[in-house]
Structure 1
């Protein structure tokens, strides 16, 4: 019966020691390569998901909200500076109301839900009900960002100090857009397009 030479055996053949060393190094490289492959695969999928979400959700929504906030800020500045006829003050009041509502919009409220990501998160948490989902680091960071958005919203012109009574939806954003266009028409900016 042939026994395998031990690398610690003083009488071991030199080939046995080399073979054992080769096997150990080969196993370490295989394990390391496997780990690096998994990491690269995860990073690739993560980057692909980010790119898709950024291009298809984040940019279009952010652009639209940015345009609406910029437009209402410009109108408020023109109205507050006395550069435009306000009539009985209702135009300025309407502009302030729209500005206040726009400042209360959170991206997380108007972005479409990512059901695939939610299901994946639930799988990893081992939970069956999303009400039981524990707050993870990413969710904690999101909540911190929302608090900052709330603070910035309260600082902007015409914003109320109180939090919004309800979460605004993309439908609410479209209604605010219509109100801005109506306000522009009322003060004589008929050629304004918010598309």
Structure 2
């Protein structure tokens, strides 16, 4: 090397290797960020659709039924000091509705279950589709069931005997029948 401005062949090779490494890292980083952005977008779209099509309608229906039966029970309690059959019925419906959880009556998301099955490892001992978060939620619901059974006058609901969508439909029919019997004009979703 006669001049300090001439490139050293070893330096050229090292610079090219550094450039290739840097280029690969940026490419991989950009790819990862694109995947994450895509997943977040799909997740948000899925949440929005589920919220609008499943969560809100079920929540509105249960809330309206609970509010209506609470109003009926309050009306009947204030009307008479003695226990009556309609008041007993209203309290029974109210108690049953209080025990209904969203997870009891929400439709099963078969697409999400299939996706979970596809991504589970063959060695995984967890039940299909049971994430750690879901297992913790079910454990908490079991504790809530035990606490409810300990409450004075509570009806016993086992985890195998949870309310179903059909039970909620029957309870809705009971609320409407009771309101008709009392001459009340209650409209439920």
TM-score using structure 1 length? 0.77
The alpha carbon displacement at 1:163 in A equals 1.7
Unaligned runs of 5+ in 1: 1-10
Deviates more, 1:172-181 or 1:131-140: 131-140
- Are 1:12 and 2:9 counterparts? yes
How many Å apart are 1:135 and its aligned residue?
4.3
| Structure 2 residue 30 is matched with structure 1 residue 33 | yes
Query: What does 1:24-63 align with in structure 2 at a 5 Å threshold?
Result: 24-63=21-60
Q: Does 1:137 align with 2:132?
A: yes
Tell me which of 99, 109, 113 is aligned to 1:114.
109
The alpha-carbon distance between structure 1 residues 153 and 172, as it changes in their structure 2 partners (threshold 3 A), is: same
**2: distance between equivalents of 1:100 and 1:36?**
49
Pairing 1:193–2:187 present: yes
SS in 2 for 1:188: coil
**Shift of the alpha carbon at 1:85?**
4.8
> Is the partner of 2:163 in helix, strand or coil?
coil
Q: What residue number does 2:154 align with?
A: 160
5+ residue gaps, structure 2, are 1-7
Q: Per-residue CA shift, 1:144-192, capped at 9, x if unaligned?
A: 5535764896799x97252257232222212111111111122221x22
- Structure-to-structure mapping, 1:98-109, within 5 angstroms: 98-109=93-104
Superposition CA RMSD, Å: 3.3
Q: Which 10-residue stretch deviates more, 159-168 or 105-114? A: 159-168
Aligned residues: 181
Equivalent of residue 170 in structure 1, options 158, 165, 175: 165
**2:146 & 2:67 partners in 1: Cα distance?**
18
Deviations 1:1-58 (A, max 9, x none): xxxxxxxxxx535443432222111111001111111111111121111111111111
Residue 149 and residue 78 in structure 1: after superposition, are their counterparts in 2 closer, same or farther (change >3 A)?
farther
Match status 1:181 vs 2:159: no
How far apart in 2 are the matches of 1:121 and 1:104? 29
Mark the CA change 1:113 to 1:145 in structure 2 (over 3 Å): closer, same or farther.
same
